[in-house]
Amino acid sequence: MVERLPPEVQAKLEKLVQARNNLATVLQQKSSYEALLKEVEETLSVIESLPDDATLYKMVGGVLVKVSKEAILEELKEKKATTEVRLKKLEAFEKKFREEVERLEKEIQSMMSGVGKGGGASAG
């Protein structure tokens, strides 16, 4: 009763599974970077509101080190910029993998409709 899928369909299904896994990985990374960006922005906002002579400390390893407000702001702005660049790259990967998943789903549906009717499925 159960028909074996043609090799072309099996290959497309394997590609689809891989594309979905890639998409899930990218979405997870994107979520992490979005959370990091939010944290950096909130920290920047708080530090910018402090007086210029505020005493600030930064954790370096297991030690707190006194740092200037300017140094912390510079570091946070750089971290924000880097995080935004990474997010843009992840968004591009997300778009690519979503399009690949949609394309493969359509191709598989098309191939399966051909298999059910006894017609040859074309890869492509």
Write down all domains in the chain, each with its CATH number in brackets.
7-116 (1.10.287.370)
73-106: pLDDT as tens digits: 999 999 999 999 999 999 999 999 999 999 999 9
- The stretches in the chain having pLDDT less than 70 are 1-3, 115-124
**65 has which bridge partners?**
58
| Radius of gyration, alpha carbons of the chain | 25
Q: What is the pLDDT of residue 88?
A: 98
Task: Read off the pTM.
Answer: 0.79
Structure tokens at 47: 């530090």
Structure tokens at 31: 């979520």
Q: What is the pLDDT of residue 115?
A: 61
Q: What is the pLDDT of residue 116?
A: 58
Q: What is the pLDDT of residue 3?
A: 67
Amino acid at 15: K
Q: What is the pLDDT of residue 93?
A: 97
Structure tokens at 12: 């497309």
Q: What is the pLDDT of residue 112?
A: 86
Please tell me the distance from the alpha carbon of residue 105 to that of residue 89, in angstroms, as a whole number: 24
Helix axes 7-49, 69-116, angle to 10 degrees: 160
